[in-house]
A and B are shown apart, each in its own frame.
Chain A
Amino acid sequence: MARAVTSRRKALNTTLAWLVGFLIFFPILWTILTSFKTEADAIANPPVFLFFDWTLENYEVVQERSNYMRFLWNSIFIAGGSTILGLLVAIPAAWSMAFVPSRRTKDILLWMLSTKMLPAVGVLYPIYLLCIQLGVLDNRYALVVILMLINLPIIVWMLYTYFREIPGEILEAARMDGASLKDELLYVLTPMAIPGIASTLLLNFILAWNEAFWTLNLTAVDAAPLTAFIASYSSPEGLFFAKLSAASTMAIAPILILGWFSQKQLVRGLTFGAVK
């Protein structure tokens, strides 16, 4: 009897989980479906779900109008570069905070996080002027540095939480065996923290990929990533939903595939330390 209740509950939970999953995924599915519709079908009322004239015309138009590969390469460069640079800075910082904490460590961590609370537009002009002075407007390297700085608090926090779970005794034992600080970081801590680093890397890559304020405001032609590519298909006058959906699908496809294959690490990284 108890078993029957459990399996019924299991079935209910599974159905509920699928339903919630479907609800969350629905906007993406709708975007993908709309990208295969004509502009008239895209706005049809009542909306058409699957039974419409499927067309690739929107993708053709988008391909013809924009140099997708250039936007894609810029997105990969900026998101990848800022993630790697961020990890190089954040790993030593998180290590020192996790294993050699001082009286002020908690305050520093909170202060770092508080910088995320500043609305980005509040510093648009200072950063824009700085970029003009340094001659790095519309420059990929500048965006790598800026996005790294923006996401740094999150990387440090994630790594800090992860490192805290690693028993300090292991590091002490390594020290007893004569490991230097470099050895300790490289050969003991990093291998143990690889799952945490991997999930931090993935999450940061996704955040940088989707960043749409600085990447739109500081780029024009050379450094414009996929966010600018999407922005060029929205229009205040006229019908554009199908073409915009095609552009959005092309922009999110790489990151969707990456997320699909690495969801185990992502879920682990996001829920780590959540339940204690």
Chain B
Amino acid sequence: MFFKAALRTSTALALCVSATAAFAESHAPTITIATVNNGDMIRMQGYTDQFTEETGINVEWVTLEENVLRQRVTTDITTNGGQFDIMTIGMYETPIWGANGWLVPLDGLSEEYNVDDLLPAMRAGLSHDGTLYAAPFYGESSMIMYRTDLMDAAGLEMPEAPTWQFIREAAAAMDDPENGVNGVCLRGKPGWGEGGAFITVTGNSFGARWFDEDWNAQFDQPEWAEALNFYVSLMNDYGPDGYENNGFTENLNLFNQGLCGMWIDATVAASFVTNPEDSTVADSVGFALAPNSEGVDRRANWLWAWALAIPAGTQQEDAAMQFIEWATSTDYIELVAENEGWANVPPGARTSLYENPNYQDVPFAQMTLDSILAADPTNPTVDPVPYVGIQFVAIPEFAGIATEVSQEFAAAYAGQISVEEALENAQAITNEAMEAAGYR
């Protein structure tokens, strides 16, 4: 009798326990994160189990290519679709979306998180009216990567902060068409985030700007003519054939195969070109600050961050906030360093990382920091501007306008139209669009 009762009781208990477990399992919060496909983000996905273990919060990932991601999250946030609890967005979207009230302000971050440790440039670029709307996961600027062996052979020495005029001189010295080596490789591919970004920062370094303070396009000014003529002449003389089609990936491939003397691009490329598994020139790469034109107090380096933001209206705000604190914390950086080495931690987000002696040993660490520090999104060029952003203008209309303008420039690179025509067209396109949008 007792045995039967005990059996019944234990069965009932087991049922209750498993039912509770199943209930808890099905009611454990799950957050969905839309993110971009790059090494640092993929690495983070690998550590998500640790976060789930610590907090009991499940994480679902939606990884997409940058352009698809941008379209996907923009559709969702503008319609209040609620598909994602965290979105990976950049410096371009964050201030615009924050101003529209589409993002949850990150003013509730804990004290241990130490928000003051974020690099000031990153914090400024991801804020609107002083309120942080996205936490930087990693940040980047742009810098010169060059072949030290070719530079030595040319009998030149790269200054830490060279000018465009020196870059031209060095490109001429390293250019070796017989062996397929191009003096310099730069982006020319149309698209606001590709060639558009590069020519914008080049413009900044010649003192050019997109708009004056009344939102009038400035492509008819001599600074733009000087910048564009310089770029086209440099690339026609010492750049690769078909450079108007080259973006980040194409130039990375060329550089890794030893076909570029210099390459000016994202600081994040430093880890790729120094990786012996992928690069044939890994042991002979040097770094320098992005150049400026002689006498101009601005350099051609941009500022970008991939950051995590919470769309307003999510049902999982608390869980999402916990995840952001975890993923962008110093503890996470240490976790990656412990398992994969300091060279693989997400760079460019926190001051403390650059004060860490272990990280200071990484060859490109200091130059990355210097490049980030040299970028000021509120004062991108010499003359004052009415916008925030260095390689972009943080207004919703910019992506469309800059894509069209970069297509005109690419036509000039390809020799289909002259530089003057390209600038005239850019001026007309920009002013027309700004008028239609009500800025002028």
Within 8 Å CB of A44, what residues of B?
Answer: 257
Within 8 Å CB of B80, what residues of A?
Answer: 132
User: From residue 26 to 56 of chain A, which have CB atoms closer than 8 A to chain B?
Assistant: 38-40, 43-45
CB distance from B35 to the nearest CB of A (A): 9
Within 8 Å CB of B32, what residues of A?
Answer: 220-221
Q: How far is the CA of A228 from the CA of B60 in the complex (A)?
A: 14
User: From residue 222 to 251 of chain A, which have CB atoms closer than 8 A to chain B?
Assistant: 224, 228, 231-240
B248 part of interface (Cβ distance < 8 Å): yes
Q: A39-B278, A40-B256 are in contact. Are A232 and B65 (CB under 8 A)?
A: yes
Q: What are the interface flags for B23-49 relative to A under an 8 Å C-beta threshold, 1 for contact and 0 otherwise?
A: 000000000101011110010010000
Binding site for B on A (CB under 8 A): 38-40, 43-45, 65, 124-125, 128-129, 132, 137-138, 216-217, 220-221, 224, 228, 231-240
Within 8 Å CB of A239, what residues of B?
Answer: 249, 252-253, 272, 278
B266 part of interface (Cβ distance < 8 Å): yes
CB distance from B197 to the nearest CB of A (A): 11
B12 part of interface (Cβ distance < 8 Å): no
A217 close to B75 (CB less than 8 A):
yes
Within 8 Å CB of B252, what residues of A?
Answer: 238-239
A235 close to B37 (CB less than 8 A):
yes
B421 part of interface (Cβ distance < 8 Å): no
Q: What are the interface flags for B254-287 relative to A under an 8 Å C-beta threshold, 1 for contact and 0 otherwise?
A: 0011010000001011001000011110000000
- A65, A217, A240: which contacts B72 (Cβ < 8 A)? A217
CB distance from B209 to the nearest CB of A (A): 26
- A45, A232, A235: which contacts B257 (Cβ < 8 A)? A45
Interface of B is mostly: mixed
Q: How far is the CA of A220 from the CA of B86 in the complex (A)?
A: 12
Within 8 Å CB of A128, what residues of B?
Answer: 75, 79, 81
A65 close to B79 (CB less than 8 A):
no
- List 4 additional contacts besides A43-B256, A232-B63; criterion CB under 8 Å: A65-B45, A232-B62, A233-B37, A239-B272
Q: How far is the CA of A232 from the CA of B71 in the complex (A)?
A: 14
CB distance from A163 to the nearest CB of B (A): 40
Q: What are the interface flags for B61-75 relative to A under an 8 Å C-beta threshold, 1 for contact and 0 otherwise?
A: 011111110011001
A221 close to B62 (CB less than 8 A):
yes
Q: A128-B79, A220-B62, A237-B248 are in contact. Are A231 and B68 (CB under 8 A)?
A: yes
**Considering only CB atoms, which chain B residue lies closest to A216 in the complex?**
B68
Within 8 Å CB of A232, what residues of B?
Answer: 37, 62-65
Within 8 Å CB of A39, what residues of B?
Answer: 277-278
CB distance from A142 to the nearest CB of B (A): 13
B79 close to A43 (CB less than 8 A):
no
CB distance from A46 to the nearest CB of B (A): 10
Q: How far is the CA of A81 from the CA of B63 in the complex (A)?
A: 26
B45 close to A45 (CB less than 8 A):
no
Most chain A CB neighbours (cut-off 10 Å) among B45, B64, B248, B272: B64
Q: How far is the CA of A43 from the CA of B248 in the complex (A)?
A: 14
Q: How far is the CA of A217 from the CA of B78 in the complex (A)?
A: 13
**Considering only CB atoms, which chain A residue lies closest to B83 in the complex?**
A220
Within 8 Å CB of A138, what residues of B?
Answer: 83
A129 close to B248 (CB less than 8 A):
no
A137 close to B266 (CB less than 8 A):
no
B164 part of interface (Cβ distance < 8 Å): no
**Considering only CB atoms, which chain A residue lies closest to B258 in the complex?**
A45
Q: A65-B42, A238-B272 are in contact. Are A137 and B256 (CB under 8 A)?
A: no
B392 part of interface (Cβ distance < 8 Å): no
B146 part of interface (Cβ distance < 8 Å): no
B84 part of interface (Cβ distance < 8 Å): yes
12 residue pairs of the A-B complex, CB under 8 angstroms, read: A39-B278, A40-B256, A40-B279, A40-B280, A43-B256, A128-B75, A128-B81, A216-B72, A236-B247, A237-B249, A238-B39, A240-B37
Within 8 Å CB of A216, what residues of B?
Answer: 64, 68, 72
Q: How far is the CA of A122 from the CA of B66 in the complex (A)?
A: 21
B81 close to A132 (CB less than 8 A):
yes
**Considering only CB atoms, which chain A residue lies closest to B68 in the complex?**
A231
A237 close to B268 (CB less than 8 A):
yes
A236 close to B79 (CB less than 8 A):
no
CB distance from B302 to the nearest CB of A (A): 13
CB distance from A193 to the nearest CB of B (A): 40
**Considering only CB atoms, which chain A residue lies closest to B45 in the complex?**
A65
Q: How far is the CA of A44 from the CA of B66 in the complex (A)?
A: 25
